A and B are shown apart, each in its own frame.
Chain A
Amino acid sequence: MEKKLNKNNIKEFLIENGLIIVMFILIAIIIIKEPKFVNYKNAINILNQASTKLIMALGVGGLIVLAGTDLSAGRALGMTAAVSTAMLQSADYAQRYFPEMAEMPIIVGFLAAIAVGGLIGLFNGIGVAKLKLHAFIATLGTQLILYGLLQAFINASPWGAQPLGGFKDSYIKLVLGSVKIGKFELPYLIIYAAIASAVMWVIWNKTTLGKNMFAIGGNKEAAAVSGINVDKNIIIIFVISGIMYGIAGFLEGPRIGNATITTGTNYDLDAIAACVIGGVSFSGGVGTITGIILGSILLQVINYGLLFIGVQTYWQIVIKGALIILAVALDTRKYLQKK
């Protein structure tokens, strides 16, 4: 009997922590192949690269907790990146999107990105809450609409279709700058991601909205009976997600150097993957901000690490896909009735 229990315990432990174990094995392989991988610079690089994706994932996470998803997040990021970068080009750049416009303060571009993001969220939210569409369908439609609009927007440039570049120095500094703490340099991007995480943590854990979100995701009928305005809360969560995409979009242009029609492509899938790996359950009502942070970082560690030891990009994609399947399979097992 004792032996049996022991064996069960080990199995339980492996299921509970399987993903983390696999992740650590992968990281161990990376380190064994290239011990130089472990250093401060790489760590900062990884966090830096994970930061905009994390901000997106924080938005998508709430929608998954609602038992939904968001396929339009990547395009929303592309759209908001285009809008904010078009407004924040430097005055002496030859091919400005708005040639006649005076140089705008950064806050205007930022607010524009948030407003556009929020509107996209509102649109999705109304589709899901009022038109009763499944989030998958609503955001699939939105994704296409946004892709078309983004191409139209870029095409409308007086200089023809071309990447938006030539950003204001202050804008670039705001995104790519860093603060020196003694010997260490901490990029602003990491700080922004940390602030976004903290704010979202408070919303999820300390506000009525957060409680309502978990209630709706966990049991929509019971939430409605408990006096929760289900439609309104769903819409607000979507708007907040849109705002997160707006923030990520605002940061993305300077981070990669320009904004094009492909900016943000497939980012939604990365964000969903990060959430899922971090334990946000697709059946709704379950998830934590710490999980999403961990998921985002782990995904980036593996991306970066595999590149570091010279694994081809296509193999990286294969590994990422396998990880997602593993993550969800293990996650599902946790909630299955034990027999």
Chain B
Amino acid sequence: MSEEKILLEMRNITKMFPGVVALDNVNFKLEKGTVHSLMGENGAGKSTLMKVLFGIYHEDEGEIYIEGQKNNFDNPKQAMENGVSMVHQELNQVMKTDVADNMLLGRYPKKGLFVDQAKMYKYCEDVFEDLGIDINPREITENLSVAQRQLVEIAKAVSYDAKILVLDEPTSSLTDQEVEILFNIIDKLRDRGVGIIYISHKMDEILRISDEVTIMRDGQWIATEPAKDLTTDRIIALMVGRTVDNVYPPKTNKPGEVIMEVSNLTGMYEPTIKNASFELRQGEILGVAGLVGSRRTELIETIFGIRTKESGQIKLNGKVIENKNSVDAIENGFALVTEERRSTGIFPMETIQFNSIIANTESYKKGLLLDDKSMIRDTEEVIKSMNVRTPSRKTQIRSLSGGNQQKVILGRWLLTSPEVLLLDEPTRGIDVGAKYEIYQLIIDLANQGKSIIVVSSEMPELFGICDRILVMSDGHVAGIDDVENLDQEKVMTLATKYL
């Protein structure tokens, strides 16, 4: 590695938070014109390291050199002015203003006292054209798709004449075609000598786009290796610190008789499913696949009654049921683990106990009051059976990792003794080790005779744990078949059937 090629060097970075060492003596080097991926389980310290680089956090020990110059930024603005840009996982954009406003936020070109509007649009058009992005700078930001918004953020980062560009999980909500556009832009930037730090959980992407991969675990540097020497298994082994023989637990559940029949289900309001029909067996795990926008979430939310049904019917155990709202659904034996754990799953400020019992309070009533003993007993049961790692049942749920939060939510629903569990992206944002545990729990539940519908964007996951897969395409059920009869290509073909 020749000296002048090194764009960024972070030396012996240590960062402590009260009670935890978030970064422990971490070293990281980035070369000009390369893509260097940063991998690790959630909480491994990737984001913290990047925030230290970007001046959002301040390291307790260690130095940062940019092109050989010692440089510790006090704040993101300084970092950006010195050619370090970052596209955050959660987009921070002003939704009600236009694209050009967002691009030039904080650095509007002036004409005397006023903002030079014409110059703004011209500037954006130039940047977009240069990168091959087809977006109108006059468009109001909220009218853009997530992918387009992501591209705007990247363009903005690049437009600071970034020498170093950090992309934090840029593809988590992109479709395959959109990922291609993003990769084209990354290639373009790499050819220009920009150093790119790429954070992602998606192995195939990492292996495809990276020159080098650095793996972190528990706040420590573990390894930096050329991407061409790595395999998915090797990365996982480095990330979790042990070899993972199986990403999926053995499938032991045996589907039985049909328990639920959904026929011609159509929702009242857009976006909606159209004439969806399928059957679900007892003890079965049914996967729901489809592209972004194929209405997978709408399918299970309509079943659960939180989306209004226009026509069609649901039979459970041979009886027609009506889920007009979540109260009905729970009474009829349904449970729903939502896609957005933070916004519709957890009560962050509340304890594990509160989060465990909240869907089941009716059953703790003793007269007018709630019985503490049975609530504590059930909470302990959730912690034990779900293997929730927490100091106590009184811990605030927000202090747990994503995987443990998800286990609490699964436990919450099991307390309501459901027959049919609807799981929407149950492993999103959860690290590899915890994913395995969630899969095991799902299979155990099926073994106990629960029927489970799993919506997932990760196809290997569906093939790993499901008995059958239902493919949605533009609101229609495009096909449904046993896992043995399907492969990823067949699923993709079905997914585009109605497009």
Contact = CB atoms under 8 A, between A and B. Distances in A.
Interface of A: 1, 5, 8, 12, 202, 206-208, 211-212, 214-215, 218-219, 221-229, 285-286, 335, 338-339
B204 interface: no
Interface string B174-208: 00000000000000000000000000000000000
8 contacts: A5-B18, A208-B370, A214-B350, A226-B326, A226-B359, A227-B330, A227-B416, A229-B325
A214 B361 CA distance: 13
A206 B370 contact: yes
A212 B368 CA distance: 14
Given A219-B343, A226-B359, 17 more contacts: A5-B18, A206-B372, A207-B370, A208-B361, A211-B361, A214-B354, A218-B350, A219-B344, A221-B343, A221-B344, A222-B338, A224-B326, A225-B326, A226-B358, A228-B326, A228-B358, A229-B327
Interface in B58-105: 60
A217 to B, nearest CB: 9
Interface in B320-354: 325-327, 329-330, 336, 338, 343-350, 354
B362 A208 contact: yes
A223 B370 CA distance: 18
Nearest to B338: A225
Nearest to A286: B349
Contacts of B56: 339
B349 A218 contact: yes
- Chain B contact-residue range equals 35 or more
A207 to B, nearest CB: 6
Contacts of B372: 206
Contacts, number: 83
Nearest to A284: B349
Contacts of B364: 208
A285 B56 CA distance: 29
A1 B362 CA distance: 51
A222 B346 contact: yes
Nearest to B331: A227
Contacts of A229: 325, 327
Interface in B438-472: none
B348 A219 contact: yes
Contact of B329 (A206, A227, A228): A227
A224 B306 contact: yes
B363 to A, nearest CB: 10
Contacts of A227: 326-327, 329-330, 359, 416
A221 B338 CA distance: 10
Interface string B133-159: 000000000000000000000000000
Q: Which of B306, B338, B348, B349 has the most CB of A within 10 A?
A: B349
Given A224-B306, A226-B326, A206 B344 contact: no
B354 A211 contact: yes
A218 B343 contact: no
A1 B15 CA distance: 12
A16 to B, nearest CB: 13
B412 A211 contact: no
